[in-house]
Structure 1
Amino acid sequence: MKRHFTSIRYEFIFSMTALFLLFSSIVLSIWYSELKHEAQTTALQNAEHVLQVSNTLFENQVRDMINVAALTTVRSTNSLSTNILNILSKKDLSDSEIIGYRKSATDYLISLCSFKKNLNGLMVSDFKGDNSISYGIPTSFEIMQENQWIDLIKDSNKKYIVIPPHYPHKWFNTKKDLAFSVLEPVLAYSGEKIGFVSVDISAQLFQECFDTSSSSPSSLYVINKTDGEVLFSPTLDILDMARGESALPAIIRNLKSEKGYFYISDKNSGKLLVVYNTSALTGWTTLSVIPEKEIVLAFTNTSHKILLITLIIGIALILCIFLVTTFLTRKIRLLTSAVKNINGDCLDLPIEITSQDEIGSLFLQFKAMLDRIRGLLKAVKTEEAAKRKAEISALQFQMNPHFLYNSLNTIKFLANIQGIHNIGRVAESLSSLMHISMDDRAFLPVQEDIHFLRSYLEIQNYRYTNSFDFQLHYSEEIMDCYIPKLFIQPLAENSLKHGLVNRTDGGILLVEYLADENNLKVIVEDNGCGITDDRIQEIMHKNQNRNAGHIGIYNIRERIHLYFGEDYDLEIISQPGLFTRFEMTLPIVVKDEVENYV
């Protein structure tokens, strides 16, 4: 089944399906993003419009109350407002004059305020509270004095001051009693402040202007961003002020200008769109808070329908691709099935494809290839028969290294019987060399390396008719250390061939294995003809022995760097006519660490 689904037909179907899904995903993503952006833009425009209408309605009501307060003390030919100024400014009035002024002023206030909706009360008073005229139930002088609002309007240069919602009297503290106040200074004819006008507006005005919960998914809040106080929260409280963990502090931190909008995340309500506008009249900021899920809710049904249509089109497309690919790949499937049956016993194609397309060309190529394979198989069988005869003949004359090793031991045994001990020692040394050479280990213990080098030098001593002496020095502490095979023997061979070759006697070859701090140092030194500095540089940086019968010094350095890195190397010190010394520095390698370098 797995092999069946890896056919070119299914690969094409899967590829086309993947391309369709990719294309559909890209188109749907772009469409969703654009539609979401359009919905957010529309929601933002609607929120700004609602905010503007609500603010305008609220400000018009407040401004109307401010105008009422201004009319009470305006300096004009109106004797009614003049009577109020007379009460506040003149201190030498008789009781009958005060009563007359107060009655006419009270009637004037009633005429101004009688039909003002949401106006709870109005009071005109001096700064001490001795002379005051009021309408309705305004905020008491004592409460204003306790909250220092009177001092605020007295010392301020502002035309008016807006006081946040509060209870006008200590014994009126229900929600319906909440009111916010506008205080204006009263000026005498000389321009001096002689008192103030306080207008109390019912907090129900917030409800009338900003509570849009019945017709909109948004909620309007009114806050004083200076101290973060919430002046009004609607019935549909999206921020859930009663919870005590609302996003309001984060919202206040984002109020960077007088108006604008931003998005913020709330733990319970999710992502929120916040549109805000600060009133130039009151200084309060109105917030329109809309959950993002409400913004995209309008096009959710449309997106579901489009996804369903896309799914249906995708299924129909996959079915069409399956039928088309099945028809187009029928020839290649026939050819594939026929090729699968080809083996050593059957080299024929049991089908015939006559089409002129690529499949027909491929069929002809397969057919021609099978004809060539049949001819090659016949030639190979003939060649294999001849090769087998040659191998049998070669095996009859083959002599392996083990046979040669055993023969050397036989020579050693016969030489000792005949009393020819030098031949026995040479045979024994050669046998040791072959034994280590046939070993496939890359690293040897220092003890075995010394034994190998000693056998080599004994043979060379016979070869050079005892024209040199050799000495091997080593410390017992490094005998169990490991060293790469055939690192030291080429250096000794170099000393014999190039340093001591012209000496007939008195030649000395010294080899030392010693521990140098945390390193293993090997020194090969001879008292031969020496090497010049130029020649040393040439030897160290060029493979001089590429075609020679042994590994050159250049190659030894390459092996050192390959095994141990650039921190370890081979150094040549020489004095022409006196000596040559090779100093090799290697790390100390114990048995358990050999695998790290192989």
Structure 2
Amino acid sequence: MPRFWFRIKQQINQMPVSRQLILAITLIVFLILTAMTGFTYGRTIETVNRQQLSSTQEILDLKKDDFSKYMAQLENYSMQLRYNDQLLHIISSEKPIDYTSSSTVSSALRDTFLTRGDIVSYRIYLLKNQTCYSITRSDFNVRSASFKSIEDAELFKEANSANSHLAFQPEYGKSGSFLTICRVFINIMNRRPLAFVEITVNNSYCKSLSADSSGMKSVLSILDRQGRLTYTSDDAVLDAQDIPQIKQVLSSQSRSVSLGKEDYLTASSSTPDGNWKLISLLPQDTLREPVARNRNLSLFLALTAFLVSACLISMLIRIQMRPLRTLAKQMRNVGRGDFKTKVYVGGSAEVINLSRQFNWMTGQIDELIQKNYVAELNEKIAQMKALEAQVDPHFLYNTLQAISTEAVLSGQKTIQRMVEALASLLRYSVREKDRISVETEIRHVREYLFLQNARFEDRLAYEIHMDDCSQPLLIPKISILCLVENSIKHGVENSSDRISIQVSIRVSGGGLKIVVSDNGRGMSRERLAEVRGMTQSEGAGGSSGIGLPNLAARLKILYRERASLSIASEPAGGTKVELVIPLNEDEEDICTDR
């Protein structure tokens, strides 16, 4: 997989910029549309589930109220025989049942049975006479039979122990039956049971209650107080084995349950007495069908919009890239040496600005070429003049050598020393390389100061402080000498007071820091601003002779912006010039080793 993605990345990098833009923008549009569709689908499913669950809960509450009324009717129905005075006298009597009493019981039982159409069977057990009378929907004849004892039956115990003397037995799993209602008739005086009634009800009412007119194919289930399944409208979806899972879902915050291969939303509602709980299962696939259709339509529209946007984006990018292609063509012409070419293209503001910058750049390059060409010509001319003037230094050296020899013969050692210093300075300024060591520069600075000291005598004093590690470092020739000359020219010559010049050379912060200061008259603010402007202007090297502008120009040529030359001066406060020259890695290693 990493190799596969690497190949894809490599192919994309090899594409033109226009295709990369088209691919990137269309991919972003596709991802945004897909994300919006997925987000909308999820939110729609959530909203539909919430709304449908709320609607189902409202309907289920109405069905619960209707079911409560139905159960109340069945409870009252189970008491109808108790209100028959003749039957009550018979079941309370200790006498054996004769034919007349049997006919009375049968008639009352048949009449009560026929008053409702949802009764499957009706049985009454006369406890004192140990006789059972029954009637069923399949046989409308009342039949009687004797029994030995019913007090040990679970339903009888449950009904007899209940405050309402009523019990219910679910008939789930029996074809067509809903439940059996069990009631005990008691003697109000002594609270002893007189008769026991069993009424089995069919599920016709439950079927009508579970009828779904919304078309959502919901499943209605009914549980009794003990959590036993009493009725379900679809055995294939929910049976007694699923009840624990349903209870767990109803007790949690989640309303979703998985039954088989489908997911259902659950809603429940309990009757006020807590005897019954109605549960509605709503299939989520049914809810998702219309949302899924809308999602598929949205995806189709998103794909269509993606293709249309891809075409439009491709057209727009090609239109925007057309001026760039023209610009690239002109750049190839510049690469061939045609710096006179100009580009005039339309398009966006950025492209127009780029063409203007291109035209400005070619103009600057052409101007620079012209300047370099002129400078090269001037350099050739200067070299020719230097060759012509080579005789002059040799003549001066020979003349100074003759004067030095004459001074030695005459015993004038001071004159000899001055002549030798002057010859050394002349040789240094002509023959040495452009960059020399600090040690060599300082040696000639001392010779220069020796000559100036002979001139000004006690009016000039100087001190030179130099780090040992700075001696082999390379600096521009005549750089320190230029700073010392500037101090003498503006400090000593313009004052009759004693002037002291301080020269400090040390390595600091990755550079060589050279400071030359004097205690002369200094410069006014206007003159200081003028000198600073001369050292910072582009034509700083245009002045003749050795001076600060010339030094600043050489620094820019050798070090560009990495070297600095700063001047500080106050009237009657002296002048301080600070020169910082960057060090290369080898020079830094030399200073570190020392």
- TM-score of the superposition, structure 1-length normalised? 0.52
Change (3 A) 1:33 1:90: same
Cα-to-partner distance string for 1:388-445 (whole Å, 9 max, x where unaligned):
xxxxx999x99xxxxxxxxxxxxxxxxxxxxxxxxxxxxxxxxxxxxxxxxxxxxxxx
Give the Cα–Cα distance (whole angstroms) in 2 for the partners of residues 207 and 142 of structure 1: 36
SS of match in other structure, 1:324: helix
Change (3 A) 1:304 1:177: closer
Letter in 2 for 1:254: V
**Corresponding residue of 1:220:** 220
| 1:362 Cα offset (Å) | 2.5
Change (3 A) 1:187 1:262: same
Change (3 A) 1:550 1:303: closer
| 1:148 Cα offset (Å) | 1.8
**Residues 178, 203 of structure 1: 8 Å contact kept:** yes
Letter in 2 for 1:65: L
Give the Cα–Cα distance (whole angstroms) in 2 for the partners of residues 143 and 394 of structure 1: 140
**Residues 124, 197 of structure 1: 8 Å contact kept:** yes
**Residues 119, 199 of structure 1: 8 Å contact kept:** no
**Corresponding residue of 1:181:** 180
- Residue 86, structure 1, aligned to residue 89, structure 2: yes
Letter in 2 for 1:37: E
- Residue 254, structure 1, aligned to residue 246, structure 2: no
| 1:129 Cα offset (Å) | 6.8
Letter in 2 for 1:335: L
Give the Cα–Cα distance (whole angstroms) in 2 for the partners of residues 104 and 197 of structure 1: 17
**Residues 185, 193 of structure 1: 8 Å contact kept:** no
SS of match in other structure, 1:353: coil
Equivalent of 2:41 in 7, 32, 42: 32
Give the Cα–Cα distance (whole angstroms) in 1 for the partners of residues 117 and 69 of structure 2: 12
SS of match in other structure, 2:234: coil
Equivalent of 1:67 in 76, 81, 105: 76
Equivalent of 2:352 in 333, 354, 360: 360
Give the Cα–Cα distance (whole angstroms) in 2 for the partners of residues 139 and 339 of structure 1: 117
Give the Cα–Cα distance (whole angstroms) in 1 for the partners of residues 90 and 345 of structure 2: 122
**Residues 88, 194 of structure 1: 8 Å contact kept:** no
SS of match in other structure, 2:183: strand
**Corresponding residue of 2:160:** 154
Cα-to-partner distance string for 1:238-263 (whole Å, 9 max, x where unaligned):
34x49x6x5x4232123349xxx842
Letter in 2 for 1:175: K
**Residues 183, 197 of structure 1: 8 Å contact kept:** yes
Change (3 A) 1:371 1:49: closer
| 1:196 Cα offset (Å) | 4.3
Cα-to-partner distance string for 1:173-192 (whole Å, 9 max, x where unaligned):
x9337552212232324262
| 1:322 Cα offset (Å) | 2.5
Change (3 A) 1:118 1:349: farther
**Residues 223, 230 of structure 2: 8 Å contact kept:** yes
| 1:350 Cα offset (Å) | 5.0
Contiguous gaps of at least 5 residues in structure 1: 75-80, 167-173, 387-392, 399-545, 553-598
**Residues 218, 282 of structure 2: 8 Å contact kept:** yes
Change (3 A) 1:265 1:55: closer
Give the Cα–Cα distance (whole angstroms) in 2 for the partners of residues 35 and 292 of structure 1: 13
* Aligned-pair Cα RMSD in Å: 5.0
Alignment of 1:248-327 (within 5 A): 248-256=243-251, 262-266=254-258, 268-280=260-272, 283-327=275-319
Give the Cα–Cα distance (whole angstroms) in 2 for the partners of residues 139 and 268 of structure 1: 47
Change (3 A) 1:340 1:163: farther
Alignment of 1:94-173 (within 5 A): 96=98, 99-126=99-126, 130-136=130-136, 147-165=153-171
Contiguous gaps of at least 5 residues in structure 2: 1-10, 138-142, 381-430, 437-587
**Corresponding residue of 1:51:** 60
Change (3 A) 1:300 1:191: farther
Cα-to-partner distance string for 1:79-134 (whole Å, 9 max, x where unaligned):
xx11222223232x3655xx433322321221121142231222333557725544
| 1:150 Cα offset (Å) | 1.2
Give the Cα–Cα distance (whole angstroms) in 2 for the partners of residues 144 and 304 of structure 1: 66
**Corresponding residue of 1:230:** 229
| 1:273 Cα offset (Å) | 0.6
SS of match in other structure, 2:105: helix
Give the Cα–Cα distance (whole angstroms) in 2 for the partners of residues 323 and 32 of structure 1: 32
| 1:19 Cα offset (Å) | 5.6
Letter in 2 for 1:154: N
Cα-to-partner distance string for 1:445-489 (whole Å, 9 max, x where unaligned):
xxxxxxxxxxxxxxxxxxxxxxxxxxxxxxxxxxxxxxxxxxxxx
SS of match in other structure, 2:130: coil
**Residues 264, 271 of structure 1: 8 Å contact kept:** yes
**Residues 160, 185 of structure 1: 8 Å contact kept:** yes
Change (3 A) 1:351 1:2: farther
Give the Cα–Cα distance (whole angstroms) in 2 for the partners of residues 145 and 348 of structure 1: 121
Give the Cα–Cα distance (whole angstroms) in 2 for the partners of residues 128 and 237 of structure 1: 46
SS of match in other structure, 2:171: strand
The percent identity for this pair of structures is 12
| 1:297 Cα offset (Å) | 0.9
Give the Cα–Cα distance (whole angstroms) in 1 for the partners of residues 236 and 170 of structure 2: 20
Change (3 A) 1:325 1:282: same
Change (3 A) 1:236 1:154: closer
| 1:144 Cα offset (Å) | 6.3
Letter in 2 for 1:180: L
Mean CA deviation greater in 195-204 or 312-321: 195-204
Give the Cα–Cα distance (whole angstroms) in 2 for the partners of residues 271 and 253 of structure 1: 15
SS of match in other structure, 1:70: coil
Give the Cα–Cα distance (whole angstroms) in 1 for the partners of residues 235 and 342 of structure 2: 79
| 1:265 Cα offset (Å) | 4.3
| 1:333 Cα offset (Å) | 2.7
**Residues 118, 204 of structure 2: 8 Å contact kept:** yes
Aligned residues: 380
**Residues 164, 231 of structure 1: 8 Å contact kept:** yes
**Corresponding residue of 1:390:** none
- Please tell me whether Structure 1 or Structure 2 has the larger radius of gyration of its CA atoms: 2
- TM-score of the superposition, structure 2-length normalised? 0.52
Give the Cα–Cα distance (whole angstroms) in 1 for the partners of residues 144 and 255 of structure 2: 40
Give the Cα–Cα distance (whole angstroms) in 2 for the partners of residues 331 and 142 of structure 1: 111
SS of match in other structure, 2:79: helix
| 1:236 Cα offset (Å) | 5.8
